[in-house]
Structure 1
Amino acid sequence: MCDSCATAAEATTADGTERGGGLSRRGLMAGLGLGFGLAAVGLPTGATTASAATASAKNGKWANPALGRFPAGGHYGAPRGGAAHAGQDVSNSTGTGVYAAAAGTVVRRSWGGGLTGRTGNALVLSHGGGQYTYYGHLSAYRVALNATVAAGQRIGDMGATGNVTGPHLHFETHSGGLGVTVAPVAFLAARGVDLGGGWPRIDPGASGATVVVTQQLMTQRGYGLVADGQYGTVSSDAVKRFQNAKGLVADGQVGPATWPHLVYTLRQGSGGSHVRALQTALNRRSAGLAVDGTFGAVTTTAVRTYQGVNRLVVDGEAGPVTWQALVG
């Protein structure tokens, strides 16, 4: 974990979530003997009205920045020599992929990211509206300063540069201006992302690549949706019918209860809209595939590459563990 990565003047969330409270460690990789993290306890359920859906922050625009485990003492607010830990540490091997948590612009690319108390190679992304994310201790950069990035795009590699005890990503969320940190786990959970590695949550009114993935999977399930990336009334009504048919709460939120029923286990030779969904999800993680619905050698290589970079079992098969990592 970080030996520094602290500041004495950090802001907390409104309810002080996680300030000095610690977090249970949640592993992600079955191949390393670690189980995928459960969804955060106490998250609100999906919106059930159009107005609530429109206001939901679970809008498909955010992504999990890295796979790994939460090390002891690496939580937001942990003591750091009279100051407080400014982010959440996510531990994994050097070279593990690091991804943009949301679309934005690279505004810092330097040692420590230009912030007090930080060390190591770092990136800072601006997402507009006073929101920023910070990625520290990188072993490699994969984007340039001032580059525009998409949510889920690979931007760097996990490492152990700076004052650390081992390789990990030091991840921070800033809201209200750069330097005003908030608890990353709670911040992302409010936006439908489980930093511990669980399935994401998207509500009616969402848009983007994860919505396209959902629509393509729903089409394979027989619901014939247009994959336009807009989670409007037609798509949400179809999801509610699907949920009802599966005996689930028919709230229209695509979350931890719905995803396992929606995805397929796919391998080379598969074909159809579910493969298009897989290719779309891989492209969200920088694979650069043609979305043709054919699971051939190129898609197999992309799956294996993604699994290897993220320390999953490298078998070229897109099962639940790989899907969960891709869409998270």
Structure 2
Amino acid sequence: MCESCATPAVEELAADEEAVRRGGLSRRGLLAGLGAGLGLSVIGLTTGASTASAASAKNGAWANPALGYFPQGGHYGAPRGGAAHAGQDITNSTGTGVYAAAAGTVIRRSWGGGLGGRTGNALVISHGGNQYTYYGHLSAYRVALNAKVKAGQRIADMGATGNVTGPHLHFETHSGGLGSITNPVTFMTARGVDLGGGWPRLDAGASGATVVVVQRLMTQRGHKLVADGNYGSVSVAAVKKFQASKGLVADGQVGPATWPKLVYTLRQGSSGQHVSALQTALNRRSAGLAVDGTFGSVTTTAVRAYQGLNRLVVDGEAGPVTWQALVG
């Protein structure tokens, strides 16, 4: 986990005034989001939770940035000397894929990402609306500074650069401005993403590639939806009907109870709309496949590459574990 990656102590703030004049982010800005030490951290945690709950639509715009596990002591707000941990650590092997949590623009690509109290190679993405995400301790960059990225696009590789005890992704969410830190687990949960690697949640009104995945899977299930990426009334009604047929709560939310009933286990030789759904999900993770509904050797290679990159069992078969990772 991170040995630093913390908001800094109050006595360090004066040194950052020049950074602000140069257009950088001061430690005071960071402290406004979280606070120094235990006294102010409570204020920061409360503020972050309120911001997240105020924009809690599970609309398909967000994606899990990495697969792995939460290490002990790597949680948001954990003690870091006289400060508090500014993000959530996700542990896996060096080289594991790191993905954009939402569409946006890469505004920082440097050691520490231009933020005080951080170490290691890092990226910062601006998502608009005063929302930002931070990715730290990277072993390699996969996008350039000022690049436009899509949700789920591969942007980097996990690593152990900087002051760490082992390879992991240090992931932060900033809502209300860069430096207004909030709990990444709470922030992402409010947007339908389980940072721990579980199935995502999509509500009515969602849009994007994951909705296309749902629509194509539903068509394979006999509901014949247009794969337009808009989770509107027709698609919601079809999902409710499908949920009822499977003995699920027919609430129209595509979540952890519905996904396992909806996906198929696919392998080379399969064909149909469910394969098109798989190819769409792989493309969301930067595979670059033709969406032709045929599970041939190229799709098999893409599945195996994704499994290997993310430390899954590399068998070329798209089962529930691979699906969950892809759509999360």
* TM-score for both structures, normalised by structure 2: 0.88
Q: Deviations over 1:259-298 (max 9, x none)?
A: 0000000000000000000000000000000000000000
The CA distance in 1 between the partners of 2:146 and 2:47, in whole Å, is 34
State the shift of 1:123 in Å. Answer: 0.1
The answer to whether 1:14 aligns with 2:69 is no
Query: Who is 2:107 aligned against?
Result: 107
Q: What secondary structure, in the 3-state scheme, does the structure 2 residue paired with 1:261 have?
A: helix
C-alpha contact (below 8 Å) 2:48/2:180 kept by paired residues: no
Q: What secondary structure, in the 3-state scheme, does the structure 1 residue paired with 2:110 have?
A: strand
Structure 2, unpaired ranges of 5+: 9-30, 35-43
The answer to whether 1:264 aligns with 2:245 is no
Structure 1, unpaired ranges of 5+: 18-43, 45-54
Change over 3 Å in CA distance of 1:325–1:306 after alignment to 2 = same
State the shift of 1:13 in Å. Answer: 4.1
- The correspondence of residues 142-181 of structure 1 with structure 2, limited to 5 A, is 142-181=142-181
The CA distance in 2 between the partners of 1:111 and 1:13, in whole Å, is 26
User: How many residue pairs end up in the alignment?
Assistant: 292
Q: Deviations over 1:54-85 (max 9, x none)?
A: x8610000000000000000000000010000
Aligned structure 1 segments of 4 or more residues deviating by more than 3 angstroms? 13-17
The answer to whether 1:124 aligns with 2:156 is no
Query: Who is 1:23 aligned against?
Result: none
The answer to whether 1:79 aligns with 2:79 is yes
State the shift of 1:215 in Å. Answer: 0.0
C-alpha contact (below 8 Å) 1:67/1:92 kept by paired residues: yes
Q: What secondary structure, in the 3-state scheme, does the structure 2 residue paired with 1:136 have?
A: strand
Percent of residue pairs bearing the same amino acid type:
83
Query: Who is 1:98 aligned against?
Result: 98
Query: Who is 2:197 aligned against?
Result: 197
The CA distance in 2 between the partners of 1:163 and 1:197, in whole Å, is 25
The CA distance in 2 between the partners of 1:56 and 1:228, in whole Å, is 23
The CA distance in 1 between the partners of 2:68 and 2:56, in whole Å, is 27
Change over 3 Å in CA distance of 1:137–1:56 after alignment to 2 = closer
Q: What secondary structure, in the 3-state scheme, does the structure 2 residue paired with 1:171 have?
A: strand
Query: Who is 1:25 aligned against?
Result: none
Query: Who is 1:2 aligned against?
Result: 2
C-alpha contact (below 8 Å) 1:6/1:118 kept by paired residues: yes
C-alpha contact (below 8 Å) 1:56/1:203 kept by paired residues: no
Change over 3 Å in CA distance of 1:187–1:107 after alignment to 2 = same
Residue identity in the other structure for 1:2: C
Q: What secondary structure, in the 3-state scheme, does the structure 2 residue paired with 1:14 have?
A: helix
The answer to whether 1:226 aligns with 2:200 is no
Residue identity in the other structure for 2:46: A
The CA distance in 1 between the partners of 2:172 and 2:47, in whole Å, is 18
State the shift of 1:130 in Å. Answer: 0.5
Q: Deviations over 1:147-175 (max 9, x none)?
A: 00000000000000000000000000000
What is the root-mean-square deviation in Å for CA atoms of aligned residues?
1.2
* TM-score for both structures, normalised by structure 1: 0.88
Q: Deviations over 1:196-252 (max 9, x none)?
A: 000000001000000000000000000000000000000000000000000100000
Q: Deviations over 1:3-38 (max 9, x none)?
A: 000004133343776xxxxxxxxxxxxxxxxxxxxx
The CA distance in 1 between the partners of 2:151 and 2:56, in whole Å, is 18
Query: Who is 1:60 aligned against?
Result: 60
The CA distance in 2 between the partners of 1:223 and 1:178, in whole Å, is 44
The CA distance in 2 between the partners of 1:198 and 1:86, in whole Å, is 23
The CA distance in 1 between the partners of 2:73 and 2:230, in whole Å, is 40
Query: Who is 1:248 aligned against?
Result: 248
The CA distance in 2 between the partners of 1:180 and 1:206, in whole Å, is 26
Query: Who is 1:141 aligned against?
Result: 141
Residue identity in the other structure for 2:184: P
Higher normalized helix content (fraction of residues) = 2
The CA distance in 1 between the partners of 2:317 and 2:140, in whole Å, is 28
Who wins on radius of gyration, i.e. which is larger?
2
Change over 3 Å in CA distance of 1:3–1:304 after alignment to 2 = same
Query: Who is 2:284 aligned against?
Result: 284
The CA distance in 1 between the partners of 2:231 and 2:164, in whole Å, is 42
C-alpha contact (below 8 Å) 2:48/2:175 kept by paired residues: no
Q: Deviations over 1:100-142 (max 9, x none)?
A: 0000000000000000000000000000010000000000000
Query: Who is 1:296 aligned against?
Result: 296
Q: What secondary structure, in the 3-state scheme, does the structure 2 residue paired with 1:236 have?
A: helix
